[in-house]
């Protein structure tokens, strides 16, 4: 699914688990990672796999402070639980998905709230 500034909030609010691939057409590692990401999407039809073209969606890229691509982000229940640059091999991506699925979101929200109140 192509994510844009127009549909981003709707998708993230509607779906409890969204993976986002920040990419650009000129980026070699992005093109190498695309089939890995697409295969993971096939293997996990219960999750939303979105793509953000950083050239066309510069506002979204800026909002996520994207400085290197590809960057993978995972949002669960409206909380950014992972964001890191780099193309992952299939096994590492699968491991990351399983770790994100296993998160105790109540604990994550409590930690986020504690961090916000500390600042």
Catalytic residue among 30, 36, 66, 97: 30
Q: Mean pLDDT throughout 35-60? A: 96
Q: Where are the domains of the chain?
A: 8-118
Task: Evaluate if residue 82 carries a pLDDT over 90.
Answer: yes
Q: Mean pLDDT throughout 42-59? A: 96
Please enumerate, as own/partner, the contacts of 87-92 that have beta carbons within 8 Å and a separation of 24 or more: 87/29, 87/30, 87/32, 87/33, 87/36, 88/33, 88/36, 89/36, 90/36, 90/39, 90/40
Confidence of residue 117 (pLDDT cuts 50, 70, 90): confident
Task: Evaluate if residue 48 carries a pLDDT over 80.
Answer: yes
pTM: 0.91
Catalytic residue among 27, 52, 73, 75: 27
Could you tell me whether strands 48-53 and 17-23 are parallel, antiparallel, or unpaired per DSSP bridges? parallel
DSSP β-bridge partners for residue 60: none
Task: Evaluate if residue 6 carries a pLDDT over 80.
Answer: yes
Task: Evaluate if residue 84 carries a pLDDT over 80.
Answer: yes
Is 30 a catalytic site residue?
yes
| Second-level CATH architecture of 8-118 | 3-Layer(aba) Sandwich (3.40)
Is 27 a catalytic site residue?
yes
- Whole-number Å distance between alpha carbons of 59 and 57: 5
């Amino acid at each position: 699914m192509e994510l844009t500034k127009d549909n981003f909030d709707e998708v993230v609010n509607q779906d409890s688990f969204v993976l986002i691939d920040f990419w650009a057409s000129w980026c070699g590692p992005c093109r190498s990672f695309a089939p890995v990401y697409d295969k993971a999407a096939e293997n996990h039809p219960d999750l939303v796999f979105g793509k953000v073209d950083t050239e066309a969606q510069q506002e979204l890229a800026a909002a996520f402070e994207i400085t290197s691509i590809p960057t993978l982000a995972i949002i669960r229940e409206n909380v950014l639980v992972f964001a890191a640059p780099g193309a992952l091999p299939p096994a590492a991506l699968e491991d990351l998905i399983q770790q994100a699925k296993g998160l105790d979101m109540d604990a994550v929200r409590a930690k986020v709230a504690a961090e916000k109140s500390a600042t």
